[in-house]
């Protein structure tokens, strides 16, 4: 049986999971592939660090270029992260004629356009299923399974750490910092967890999903990004009382003059399936013009699920690599010369309902002053909830749900609201999506 040789860059959470699968599931993989896969070399930063997997028979190096220049390696699997050295390494590997598998969404979102072009020039494949939604084969589902459709929109919970935190915060007394620490211990978080908490990781993934959905170039720097660090336990509780769950969503949709790409906390009605996706689980919804709404669900982070996608990509490459044109499925699912560099519209252009929470002085007539501000901007209040503040004796917590309005109008109203003497402190605003 023929053996294909693989070199790994990184042996952390995902690298360890990949070695584990290739060591322990090889008989089944051989039955699928009719060929065998062997890891011949792995680069790590610290050669003395104890490893969770058996590396006997595999060369370990702390020189990453040993992997990309290795004469026997057919496929380089990049599982170290970052966009500097990782980019240089993959460019070298591609020029050396090696196929690439990567789980690195930052690299694909920020440098995918040039990496894919270089791969085409060198007739090699760059696969990145593990970069979006961990173990869910969502790239393949959207790029190949939905190829008959014009995709109308994509929306998803695409960061496992963030969803884990929001889920744990529903429990009384949960502490944000402690919950994040557990997510890190479970191997879910990025090396810099700000990427998870502030939505950067989700924005990387949304960039990729939007390109696959609409056939547009990767445009990470155009994604509007808001994290979950300002969402309080109060917001989660109020949302639930009003019939919603708070989810950190990435949303990509067609707009009048381009596309809207955004990542932000979102109130989703409880009865919508995605509102019930909890813990590290991810879910991506895509609406095609023929198929209608679809949803893909599964674990979004962690060793086993992510490595499952990595190994599936290795298998795919082995199946395709000797075809005359190796990238028979274009990297972003659209012929490279058909990609549009379409405009991404400002967040001010979107229209939705809003959840507003603020602290008001518990005085007579406050509610009518607040209502007047919204009325001036032609915004109706659909729902109001008020309760005494347990933290400030003279204040009340006020929660409002608005009708559907333009983001620019709500911004105007919130600026006027902030000027009222009756408002005490910051105003929280969360967008609402019904995902119908
Ligand atoms: P990790 O646990 O921190 O592992 C990173 C590995 O890369 C480590 O083995 C590290 O070596 C090695 N490394 C880093 N910099 C290096 C350098 N300059 N030279 C040589 N080796 C270097 O990270 P991870 O969680 O596995 O994530 C890896 C990639 O997968 C990232 O791009 C991440 O965004 C992506 N990803 C992660 C998950 C997940 O659930 N964790 C899911 C999907 C995608 P040492 O072990 O010696 O430090
Ligand atoms: N840090 C990422 C997450 C890993 O939590 O979703 C998976 O991409």
Residue 330's pLDDT is what? 95
Cβ-in-10-Å burial (0-12, 13-18, 19+) of 156 comes to: buried
Q: What's the CA gap between 304 and 13, in Å, rounded?
A: 9
Q: Is the dihedral of CA 412, 417, 419, 420 positive or negative?
A: positive
Determine phi and psi for 216, rounding to 5 degrees.
Answer: -115, 160
- Tell how far the Cα of 44 is from the centroid of ligand 1, in angstroms: 9
DSSP state of 29: H
Neighbouring residues of 114: CB distance < 8 A, sequence distance ≥ 6: none
Q: What's the CA gap between 37 and 33, in Å, rounded?
A: 9
Per the prediction, the chain carries an average pLDDT of 96
The answer to whether 46 and 329 have CB atoms below 8 angstroms apart is: no
Residue 157's pLDDT is what? 98
Within 6 A (CB) of ligand 2 lie 134, 159-161, 188-190, 196, 201, 300-301
Q: Which of 204, 301, 305, 308 to mutate to test the pocket of ligand 2 (most atoms within 8 A of CB)?
A: 301
Q: DSSP per residue over 380-428, as a string? A: -EEEEEEEE-SS-TTEEEEEEEE-SEEHHHHHHHHHHHHHSTTB-S--E
Q: What's the CA gap between 131 and 119, in Å, rounded?
A: 18
Whose alpha carbon is nearest atom 4 of ligand 2?
301
- Tell how far the Cα of 191 is from the centroid of ligand 1, in angstroms: 8
What domains can be seen in the chain, in order of their start residue?
Answer: 3-136+303-338 (3.40.50.720), 138-299 (3.30.360.10), 351-432 (3.30.70.260)
CA 210 to chain centre: 11
Q: Which of 138, 189, 197 to mutate to test the pocket of ligand 2 (most atoms within 8 A of CB)?
A: 189
Q: What's the CA gap between 111 and 169, in Å, rounded?
A: 35
Q: Is the dihedral of CA 232, 179, 194, 200 positive or negative?
A: negative
**H-helix or E-strand spanning residue 15:** helix 13-24
Q: What's the CA gap between 16 and 306, in Å, rounded?
A: 11
Catalytic residue check, 5: no
Per-residue pLDDT of the chain (436 residues; tens, 9 = 90+): 999 999 999 999 999 999 999 999 999 999 999 999 999 999 999 999 999 999 999 999 999 999 999 999 999 999 999 999 999 999 999 999 999 999 999 999 999 999 999 999 999 999 999 999 999 999 999 999 999 999 999 999 999 999 999 999 999 999 999 999 999 999 999 999 999 999 999 999 999 999 999 999 999 999 999 999 999 999 999 999 999 999 999 999 999 889 999 999 999 999 999 999 999 999 999 999 999 999 999 999 999 999 999 999 999 999 999 888 766 899 999 999 999 888 999 999 999 999 999 999 988 889 999 999 999 999 999 999 999 998 888 899 999 999 999 999 999 999 999 999 999 989 999 999 999 7
Within 6 A (CB) of ligand 1 lie 10-15, 43-46, 49, 64, 79-81, 85, 103-104, 130, 134, 187-188, 190-191, 301-302, 306
Whose alpha carbon is nearest atom 36 of ligand 1?
103
Q: What angle, rounded to 10 degrees, do the helices at 105-121 and 200-214 form?
A: 40
Composition of the chain by helix, strand, coil, percent to 5:
40, 25, 35
Q: Which of 20, 42, 44, 164 to mutate to test the pocket of ligand 1 (most atoms within 8 A of CB)?
A: 44
Residue 436's pLDDT is what? 76
Give the nearest ligand 1 atom to 189 CA: 41
- 344-365 pLDDT, tens per residue? 999 999 999 999 999 999 888 8
- Tell how far the Cα of 185 is from the centroid of ligand 2, in angstroms: 13
Which residue, among 309, 324, 266, 375, has the nearest Cα to 140 in the 3D structure?
A: 309
Give the nearest ligand 2 atom to 164 CA: 5
Residue 88's pLDDT is what? 98
Q: Which of 140, 205, 247, 287 is catalytic?
A: 205
């Amino acid at each position: 049986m023929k053996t294909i040789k693989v070199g790994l860059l990184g042996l952390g959470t995902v690298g360890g999971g990949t070695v584990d699968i290739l060591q322990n599931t090889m008989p089944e993989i051989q039955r699928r592939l009719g060929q065998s896969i062997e890891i011949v070399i792995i680069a790590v930063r610290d050669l003395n660090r104890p490893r969770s997997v058996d590396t006997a028979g595999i060369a370990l190096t702390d020189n990453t270029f040993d992997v990309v220049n290795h004469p026997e390696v057919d496929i380089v699997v990049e599982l170290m992260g970052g966009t500097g050295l990782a980019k240089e390494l993959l460019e070298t590997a591609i020029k050396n004629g090696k196929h690439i598998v990567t789980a690195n969404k930052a690299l694909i979102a920020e440098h995918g356009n040039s990496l894919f072009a270089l791969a085409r020039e060198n007739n090699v494949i760059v696969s990145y299923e593990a970069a979006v939604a961990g173990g869910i084969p969502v790239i393949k589902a959207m790029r190949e399974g939905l190829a008959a459709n014009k995709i109308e929109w994509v929306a998803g919970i695409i960061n496992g750490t963030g969803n884990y935190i929001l889920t744990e915060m529903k429990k009384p007394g949960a502490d944000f910092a402690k919950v994040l620490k557990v997510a890190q211990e479970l191997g879910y978080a990025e090396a810099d967890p700000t990427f998870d908490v502030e939505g950067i990781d989700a924005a990387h993934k949304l960039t990729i999903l939007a390109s696959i959905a609409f056939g547009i170039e990767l445009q990470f720097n155009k994604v509007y990004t808001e994290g979950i660090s300002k969402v309080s336990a109060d917001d989660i509780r109020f949302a639930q009382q009003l019939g919603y769950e708070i989810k950190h969503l990435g949303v990509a949709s067609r707009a009048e003059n381009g596309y809207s790409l955004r990542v932000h906390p979102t109130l989703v009605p409880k009865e919508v399936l995605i509102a019930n996706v909890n813990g590290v689980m991810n879910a991506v919804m895509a609406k095609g013009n023929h198929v209608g709404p679809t949803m893909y669900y599964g674990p979004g982070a962690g060793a086993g699920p992510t490595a499952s996608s990595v190994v599936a990509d290795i298998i795919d490459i082995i199946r395709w690599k000797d075809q005359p044109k190796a990238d028979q499925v274009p990297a972003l699912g659209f012929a490279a010369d058909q990609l549009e560099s379409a405009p991404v519209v400002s967040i001010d252009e979107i229209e939705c309902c809003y959840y507003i929470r603020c602290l008001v002085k518990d005085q007579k007539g406050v509610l009518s002053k607040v209502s007047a501000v919204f009325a001036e901007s032609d915004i109706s209040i659909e729902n109001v909830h008020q309760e005494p503040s347990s933290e400030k004796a003279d204040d009340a917590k006020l929660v409002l749900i608005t009708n559907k309005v333009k983001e620019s109008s709500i911004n105007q109203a919130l600026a006027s609201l902030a000027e009222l003497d009756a408002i005490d402190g910051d105003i929280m605003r969360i967008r609402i999506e019904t995902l119908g």
